[in-house]
């Protein structure tokens, strides 16, 4: 027992009444910006063949208050064919997350991997509906492994940092 002295178990309440259990809550999710362009309508509906689809995405996390963070998922889609651009769609979909008692070393992983994973299915549906409303077949994006991408990005950053450190010696 003496070796546990000074440590607080997960979920234990401190003497001042503060709960130490990590807590995450999705406060709200919303479309911040949505754009759909159909520059070659109505001719585009006569084009034969499948367009080439290019999908780009980006994640941004901002701290809005002590325990409140906004995570924004930006998805840009361009569909091109031999004749030109079939359509362009851009979506900025965000969520407000309340985070308490999350260790600082795990905060970035949550904001850049887990939060986008929670938002993605809803952003995917909004984008599919926008493309369908432009009179194209719904664009159903494949699931994205945000955790894997985060780990890959962290490994690249560490490799780059250790390479710079080795070069300075």
Closest C-alpha among 42, 56, 46 to residue 134: 42
Delineate the domains of the chain, giving CATH numbers in brackets.
27-158 (3.10.420.10)
* pLDDT value of residue 20: 79
Q: How many residues does the chain have?
A: 169
Least confident of 52-56, 100-104, 132-136, 158-162: 158-162
CA angle 7, 9, 13 (to 5 degrees): 100
- This prediction's pTM: 0.80
pLDDT in tens, 1-50: 444 444 344 445 555 556 678 899 999 999 999 999 999 999 999 999 89
What confidence score (pLDDT) does residue 6 get?
A: 40
Q: What is the pLDDT of residues 101-127, one digit of tens each?
A: 988 888 999 999 999 999 999 999 999
């Amino acid at each position: 027992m003496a070796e546990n002295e000074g440590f607080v178990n997960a979920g234990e309440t401190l003497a001042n009444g503060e709960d130490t259990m990590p807590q995450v809550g999705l406060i709200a999710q919303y479309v911040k910006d949505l754009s759909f362009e159909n520059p070659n309508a109505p001719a585009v509906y006569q084009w034969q063949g499948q367009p080439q689809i290019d999908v780009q995405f980006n994640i941004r996390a901002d701290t809005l208050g002590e325990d409140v963070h906004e995570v924004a998922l930006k998805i840009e889609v361009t569909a091109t064919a031999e004749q030109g651009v079939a359509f362009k769609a851009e979506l900025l979909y965000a969520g407000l997350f309340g985070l308490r008692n999350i260790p600082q070393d795990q905060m970035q992983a949550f904001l850049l991997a887990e939060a986008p994973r929670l938002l993605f299915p809803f952003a995917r549906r909004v984008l599919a509906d926008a493309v369908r409303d432009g009179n194209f077949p719904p664009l159903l994006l494949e699931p994205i492994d945000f955790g894997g991408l985060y780990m890959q990005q962290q490994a690249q950053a560490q490799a780059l940092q250790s390479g710079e450190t080795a070069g300075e010696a």
